[in-house]
Structure 1
Amino acid sequence: MNHRFIYILLGISILFSSCKKKDEAIAPTVTTTDVTEITQNTVKSGGTITSNGGAEIKSYGVCWSTNHNPTIDDNKTSQYTDLFIVTATGLTANTTYYLRAYATNSVGTGYGNEVSFTTLAAVLPVVKSVYPASITQTTAQCGGEVTSDGGAPITRGVCWNTSENPTTANSKTTDGTGVGVFTSSLIGLTASTTYYVRAYATNIAGTAYSDVMMVRTMQGTVTDIDGNVYKTVIIGTQEWMAENLKVTHYRNGDPITNITDNTQWINNRTQGAWCSYNNDAANKNIYGLLYNYYTIADSRGICPIGWHVPSDAEWNILISYLGGVNIAGYKMKKAGDRIDADNSSGFTALLGGARDYDFGTFYALKSLAQWWSSTGDQYNAWSRYINSTEKSVHRDGPLNYAGISIRCIKDN
């Protein structure tokens, strides 16, 4: 009887043992490794899975937040390889974050220890200029390329001024955000004007600028009574014709006398007159016409409406602005063979020669440029001249019946 009872108990014990459930699975356990390679926007970290919790690991990575105890509901990376080293991206510069490794199985997510770090402070962006194009009298297209945002969001564009080293306190455009190439449209410019332009990019660290580029807008124009169209140029506070006058009528439409004969030219002491160099009409289109002073003294006016022949004082203003008599000629002359010039002013002086007041003969084509002023008397008037081999500008007072060029200046 006792043996039977023992066998029964043993059978029950075996039955209960065989029905006992396996150990239940739990969330994984994981440790977080220290962060490395901290930048303004990224950091590297990872972890070690110390237990899978009795179930297959489905995903693991790191999660982070600006608050303590981040979870996978915050920012996270997912990793599906054996190498548990990941890069957290999209961070904000100079910000403290909290980070934990995590691992997820079918039961849930386990988190490692929390580590904290602060991203690097933003630095200035890096930007370079894109060369200007499509320049008109009042507009230009420029741009830039942001090659680094410095670790923070940026705004970008170009700024410009008529003085060197423009800043965003001057005229500017705003052309989007982020790194890469951008295009800017400059509007409201003045014709025949040099502007200094540079690209900029701004983030929380400040504003960075590219190298300065020079942009010169196209010349303006003015039309005389004959319909001749002249380019104009702004030099300092003055606007000048950038070509010699070639009109054959006074402003009211009355004709100006054309005198070709040498003797008639020097014997004419009262009447306005014009001629082309060597009486060759082809020279008119290149160099303009030559006039005596009487055309200027005539009350009917020779320049277009709103323009006049410059006074001696106005010539002085121009020459002073260009650096004085010793260098102004270099900046006024159009460069060419055997001509020492750079025409940086845009005045574009061509060496159109003159007509002599002693014999009425023509001389110094391609060697001399000379222009009347309106300042004179019954015998002489002041003029300015330059030649091909000198950088200077000279002041001279020829007799009124000399034949020289005219440049008009815009009224104030």
Structure 2
Amino acid sequence: MMKRLSFAMFIGVAFFMFFSCEENPTESSAKVPELATSEVTEIGRTSATCGGTISSDGGSIVTVRGVCWSTSQMPKVSDHKTTDGTGAGSFESEITGLTAGTNYYVRAYATNGDGTGYGSAMSFKTDDPGEPDVSTAEVSEIMPTTAKCGGTVISDGGSAVTARGVCWSTGQTPTVSDSKTTDGTGTGSFTSEITGLTAGTTYYVRAYATNSVGTSYGSAKLFYIHEPGTVTDIDGNVYQTVKIGNQWWMAENLKVTHYRNGEAIPNITDNTAWSNLSTGALCDYNNDVNNVVTYGRLYNWYAVNDSRNIAPTGWHVPTDAEWTILTNYLGGESVAGGKMKETGTTHWYGPNTGATNESGFLALPGGYRYYSGTYYGVGDYGYWWSATESDSYGAWSRNLGCSGSGVDRGSNGKRSGFSVRCVGD
């Protein structure tokens, strides 16, 4: 009886093993991909390069591949990852958004229909953080006690910028222990308002940025706070004045309608009448008095040269030589224009090349009146007379334009209508 029972059990076990070992025709033979992780290269403070090589797709198409990383030793695609194409073969990955001075682990991965396979883990450490990289902007809008500057934090050095601004002093290398502004945090550009300045003083200013490593500085910019003043003409117009070098200049264009002795300067609106003049006259640009507040008036050279004097007492129209003294003081004709022009594009058309107004001259684009009587160039150009005749037909002048930083010296017909700036006696 026992023999028959044992034989029956043997047959049952054999039957079970036969059918359990038979291949299931509906089950996939695919496996996850096989791959290797590349060496980590180009390691910086916040980035690195890695990649991998897929040696087998496991019998199913690789639909996504890349690298994954974390601070744990076995990173997965649920951590940080890149996506770098499909299929087998080699690929390269850019790892970004890292923290400076930190240990990381990275693995190549590849996913097919059966799952995700990984290469071996590679470890690397990002570069330690450094000081920020910062540049200093040009100084602009220089007033008797204030000015504007700023800068750009180009890089935080791998550690968050917690303070930025500008610092200034009368020494050539100001630091944050001198006077300073605080203008936000992080990278990018910023604008700073410099206050508490003293007229007649030369200052140096630098942008700064601070992170956990330390404070770095941009290059130093020099600027001068000019001594302010005023002068009043016979009509009661009050003009701001500025000392540039050893000269006192009006910081506004002349608006006067009378000579110093009280006699009127004729306002000629008709083009034909203007073109036939050989005596002093004035006009408003486009015959529009609303232009006078901003740009002053335009005068022919006969008014400039009149013995009754167009300038206020104690002042005169500058000679050609006095204009040259000014432009030489500001670095020469090739750069002086930018230092004389009002900044921005409120009045000047763009690009207003090189405009800093660091001289305080505040040149405006009042345009001009051609000898034929037509008006031209407001917003584009400013023209100013000198008191010096060039020949029987013309006189020397200076002009500035919106697309250059220089000063042009030229001879123009005496019937032209130009702006006038006066200089102190």
TM-score, normalized by length of structure 2? 0.48
Larger radius of gyration: 1
